[in-house]
Amino acid sequence: MLRKVRLEMARCHEFPDGSVTHGYELTLPLSAQAALDRDLWLKHRHECRFRRFWAGEDDAVGHLAHDRGGWRLAFDDGAGAAEVIVKADAHHFAGGEYVSIKERDGVTRTFRIASVA
């Protein structure tokens, strides 16, 4: 089933209390066990979109992609940039869990799953 997942910056050196103004809103194909489901993604890949929100910057949008390198967030800006969801196949996308994303600037940041709807 497609689910709306909100990721918010987890506590880190840059944000000691985390941040609700830095993160992602994603539409993900999740199994009953809250894992990414490749077969469901194949059927609904055009609906699997995301929005990256970052205080002080314009929102960036794109789509969820999957290839031999794993799951990634591919931006629609035409630059060919993508961000990798680290060890995405091992994650359960449930509230309170954590997910790391290697972002376009090469930095891997950790996000808390704030909600799944």
CB contact burial 52-72 (16+ within 10 A = b; e otherwise): bbeeeeeebebbbebeeeebb
Strand partners, 112: 8, 98
Give pLDDT, residue 69: 86
Pairing of strands 60-67, 70-75: antiparallel
Q: Could you tell me the residue ranges of all domains in the chain?
A: 2-116
Q: Phi, psi (5° rounding) for residue 105?
A: -80, 5
Give pLDDT tens digits along the chain (117 positions). Answer: 999 999 999 999 999 999 999 999 999 999 999 999 999 999 999 999 999 999 999 999 999 999 988 999 999 987 777 899 999 999 999 999 999 999 988 999 999 999 999
Give pLDDT, residue 80: 72
pLDDT tens for 48-65 read 999 999 999 999 999 999
